[in-house]
Structure 1
Amino acid sequence: MTETYATGTGDDLVAVASAMRPALAARAELCERERRLPEETVKELLDSGLFHMRVPRALGGLGCDERTKARVTAETAKACPSTAWVLNILAGTTAAATAGLPEEGVAEIFAGAHPPLVCGVNALGGTATRVPGGYRVDGSWGFASGCLHAGWAVMGVRFTDGAADASTGIVCMPMSELSVNDTWHVAGMRGTGSNTVVAKEVHVPERLAVPVPDGIAPALQRSPLAPAFSALLLGPLLGATESMLETVAAGLDRRRVTYFSYARQSDSHVVLNALGDAAMLIDTAWLHTDRVLADIDAEAATGPMDMHTSARGQADSAHAVRALRRAAALLMGIAGASAYAESNPLQRAWRDLEAGSHHAMLNTPHSLELYGRVLAGAEPNSPLWGPEATLFA
């Protein structure tokens, strides 16, 4: 990375992402076809420093906040949503590893000349059995976005010595000791390579294992749980929808309304109304995103979120993706049947948005129910909230 990137402001980092858009867009079809990021893209993201934008400066990163990461990944998604998704996940997980692991573990994975890339899955896909010097880990974790480009993996496990009340937590393992099953054959976000990572009798030393809440770092313990996971997914989805708006708006003077008396779409008040509606829905999504990210950036530094703010943050994220899906539907309607041609980048952005926005952490109906329950003083409908909240489920 250059000194300009390392000392730049949020606007500077967005400008870096914007400058990369033409090259990323040119490789978007290749990214989707190969179901992974092209090596040229990985190198450019590493050289730019964007993969490590959330890593503390003391460890070689840029130390930006969540709002900046969302803006950077949104800008990247305007060229290739799959690339933005991988950037978003690896940037977030690599930074989380610096807060969630013991100091000795952080020192080990950051011991190289350049910061590492860390992928991760918080679902409890494995078990960690106590052995001399650490743990023996076995398991399988699906949906491991970015695993094809990472050097380390942080995975959710159950720690057990045969007891029924095993604790949960994380282990960090080098990808060289893991295998990757090619399971990512999907309709959207194809280029993310979100395959299944498998561990078979991998030895993990205690410095790379964190039973929760026994030893988790205070900075991570203070962070809101589910709102942080759901909100960090929003940047690529916002950018994908913004790219659709840009494309559709740019074509209004060139396209006619077929079979109706409008030589240009821009002459139709119906079309312009739909365009304005889509733009406002995207703005709505950004406003909710800004609110939850501001809460996360503020509260992670000063103390835990209260229940109301945490549940509202989850509802913010879920409401944002609902607004984006509605905006995308309007824009595809304006673009018409030709938008579904494989050669049209609109259909890729639409498919990627649909796939990404249906992530389990962005479940709109149940997230809104959660917020309603908290407002009504009822019990939350998720184990991620309340006094027994856990990072892993």
Structure 2
Amino acid sequence: MSDTPRLHTAGNTLLERARALRPLIERDADQAEEQGRLTTSVVDALHEAGLFGIWVPVPLGGAELSPTELMAVFQELSYADPSTGWVVMATTLENGTAGAYLGDEAVERIFKGPRMPLFAGQGTRPGIAVPEDGGFRLSGQWSFASAMLHSQYVHSLGAVEGTDEARIFITPIDDVKPLGNWDVLGLRATGSIDYSIDDVFVPESQSHAFDTNEPLRGGAIYRLGLLDQALICHSAWALGVGRRLLDELSRYALSRAGRPGQLAGSDAFHTDFARAEAKFRAAAALVRETWDDVERTLDSGRTLDVRQETMVRLALNHITSTITEVSHFVYASGGTSALRDGLIQRLFRDVHAGAAHITSGPQSLRECGRELAGLAAGESWVLFGLEP
């Protein structure tokens, strides 16, 4: 177990590098959407900037950013392009937790190259893992493996036969059969294809308990556990995309200012824009307030209590529903310019694809309400529900 109780922080250097990549990411976004994956130039630039190492523990050469530092980077990349932000958040979550939780033998194999390894995979709907000497035989089929087309390793949830223990299994990409079925409304450039694994041996050191919050290396961020760390990703993504939606609508209205009958001269539009801006800023403030509180708890050596677990889920659900509402206003206000293929239309589609993720689903919201109302005494969070 790691003996580093405090959060590691790395400052703003990586955020500045992410911001410097915005022109390249924006330039390549249409091509990435058309081909269903990020462009090689963007992936190479992300590697060169060190952005695929932002979640990896410091002992493995990573930056090991704090939750709020991670959120700032993901927000910046998602503002530039939602698919790029999504790919980076997914693969860095998975290579970061692999670096923290896997056994020494696996880490030595996986993290020995000149570049940070990229991961894809799925942590829901488990496959079956049959115990075998020294490891497990893993089989199953999983959906929505974001960044699969850029990855060298795959991160998959499996249930151990005989015990039903939930574990994460890491397999080389060559052991995976991609199913190539990413034909979707939004987030097209994430390449989030389905995949299958058929009776592949996974050494014990290349797996870890799904619910572990005891890192073998690295600091306090890994004491959040896998699921709560995933909430960092989706909250930050929503912050970036929501801000971009409102900024694009502002640019659209300004470009038509001074012409009779245009949006810029409408009192109703002015009022509705103010309301949308207020809703977004309020939801963003809840996200930041909640994660500031989390960081204070982690840095003191403690783990989150039930109310804090509730709040990180509620903050994500609220920012996601808010940007979905904002996207409707932006799309409707954009008129025929939004109807045609272009940035506002793509942002609208990407928001609806991202909002469908299980982490922002209705079950979590219901359970948050039950806990906040004092109706879940003695219960704790297990994934997206509260249990005794």
Same fold (TM over 0.5): yes
SS, match of residue 186 in structure 1: coil
Worse-matched range after superposition: 133-142 or 209-218? 209-218
**2:185 maps to which residue?**
187
Which residue of 1 is the match for residue 319 of structure 2? Answer: 320
1:172 aligns with 2:170: yes
CA distance in 2, matches of 1:215, 1:263: 58
Task: Specify the alignment match of 1:75 in structure 2.
Answer: 76
Q: How far did 1:215 drift?
A: 10
Q: Which amino acid aligns with 2:263?
A: Q
Unmatched runs of 5 consecutive residues or more in structure 1: 1-6
Q: SS of the residue aligned with 2:383?
A: coil
Whether 2:388 is the aligned partner of 1:378: answer: no
* Paired residues of 1:227 and 1:317 also in contact (CA < 8 A): no
Equivalent residues in 2 for 1:199-210, closer than 5 Å: 199-210=197-208
Distance 1:142 1:385, change over 3 A: closer
Name the counterpart of 1:241.
242
Instruction: Select between 267-276 and 314-323 the one with higher mean Cα deviation.
Output: 267-276
Partner residue of 1:283 out of 281, 284, 300: 281
> d(CA) in 2 for partners of 1:291 and 1:149?
34
SS in 1 for 2:148: coil
CA distances 1:4-44 after superposition (whole Å, capped 9, x unpaired): xxx99543322222221111111111111111111111111
Secondary structure of the 1:352 match is helix
Q: 2:266 aligns with which of 268, 281, 284?
A: 268
Q: What secondary structure sits across from 1:143 in the alignment? A: strand
* Residue in structure 2 matched with residue 149 of structure 1 by the alignment: 150
**Cα pair distance change 1:179/1:238, threshold 3 Å:** same
Q: Aligned equivalents of 1:46 and 1:177: distance in 2?
A: 24
Give 1:250's aligned residue.
Answer: 251
Checking the alignment, whether the CA contact within 8 Å between 1:288 and 1:317 is kept in structure 2 is no
Aligned residue number for residue 5 of structure 2 = none
SS of alignment partner, residue 169 of structure 1: strand
Residues 324-370 of structure 1, C-alpha deviations (whole Å, 9 max, x = no match): 1122222223222321201x21100111011101211102x433321
- C-alpha distance in 2 between matches for 1:100 and 1:217: 5
Contact 1:278/1:328 (<8 A) preserved: no
Amino acid at match of 2:99: T
Per-residue deviation, 1:47: 0.7
Native 8 Å contact 1:35 1:193 kept in 2? yes
String of CA shifts for 1:257-292, please: whole Å, max 9, x gaps.
9xxx94553332222222222222221232122133
Question: 1:308, 1:214 → 2: CA distance?
Answer: 20
How far off its partner does 1:304 sit? 2.3
In structure 1, the partner of 2:131 is 130
Instruction: Provide the residue aligned with 2:116 in structure 1.
Output: 115
Deviation at 1:252, TM superposition (A): 2.1
Contact 2:36–2:191 (Cα < 8 Å) also in 1: yes
1:267–1:166 CA distance, 2 compared to 1 (3 A): closer
In the alignment, what sits opposite 2:14? 13
Task: Describe the shift of the 1:202–1:167 C-alpha distance in structure 2 as closer, same or farther (beyond 3 A).
Answer: same
Q: CA, structure 1 residues 291+228, in 2 after alignment: closer, same or farther (shift >3 Å)?
A: farther
Matched, 1:197 2:195: yes
SS in 2 for 1:126: strand
Task: Say if 2:140 and 2:196, in contact at 8 Å, map to a contact too.
Answer: yes
Q: CA offset at residue 224 of structure 1? A: 5.2
Q: Secondary structure at the match of 1:223?
A: helix
| Residues 1:157 and 1:92: Cα distance change in structure 2 (over 3 Å) | same
Q: What secondary structure sits across from 2:304 in the alignment? A: coil
Query: Secondary structure of the residue that 1:148 maps to in structure 2?
Result: helix
| Partners of 1:104 and 1:19 in 2: CA distance | 37
**Identity rate of aligned residues, in percent?**
26
Q: Structure 1 8/43 Cα, relative in aligned 2: closer, same or farther at 3 Å?
A: farther
Q: Distance in 2 between matches of 1:224 and 1:105?
A: 19
1:159 aligns with 2:157: no
Structure 2 CA distance for partners of 1:263 and 1:10, relative to 1, 3 Å: farther
Shift of the 87–169 alpha-carbon distance from structure 1 to 2, 3 Å rule, reads same
Q: Report the counterpart of residue 4 of structure 1 in structure 2.
A: none
- 30 and 314 in structure 1: CA distance in 2 versus 1, 3 angstrom threshold: same
| Cα distance, 1:172 vs structure 2 | 1.1
Change (3 A) 1:345 1:371: same
Deviation, 1:186, is 0.5
In the alignment, the residues of structure 2 paired with residue 384 and residue 252 of structure 1 have an alpha-carbon distance, to the nearest angstrom, of 42
Report the Cα offset of residue 220 of structure 1: 7.9
Q: Work out the CA distance in 1 between the residues paired with 2:386 and 2:339.
A: 47
Alignment of 1:281-320 (within 5 A): 281-300=279-298, 302-320=301-319
Note the aligned Cα RMSD (angstroms): 2.7
Q: Which deviates more from structure 2 when the two are superposed, residues 328-337 or residues 193-202?
A: 328-337
SS in 2 for 1:61: coil
In 1, Cα distance between the equivalents of 2:129 and 2:178?
19
Contact 2:213 2:224 in 1 (8 A): no
Match of 1:347? 345
- C-alpha distance 215-387 of structure 1, shift in aligned 2 (>3 A): same
Unaligned stretches of 5+ residues in structure 2: 1-7
Counterpart contact for 2:214–2:223, Cα < 8 Å: no
Equivalent position of 2:107 in the other structure: 106
Cα distance in structure 2, aligned partners of 1:151 and 1:15: 27
Scaled by the length of structure 1, the TM-score of the pair is 0.87
Q: Distance in 1 between matches of 2:23 and 2:311?
A: 37
CA distance in 2, matches of 1:305, 1:8: 19
Matches within 5 A, 1:13-92: 13-92=14-93
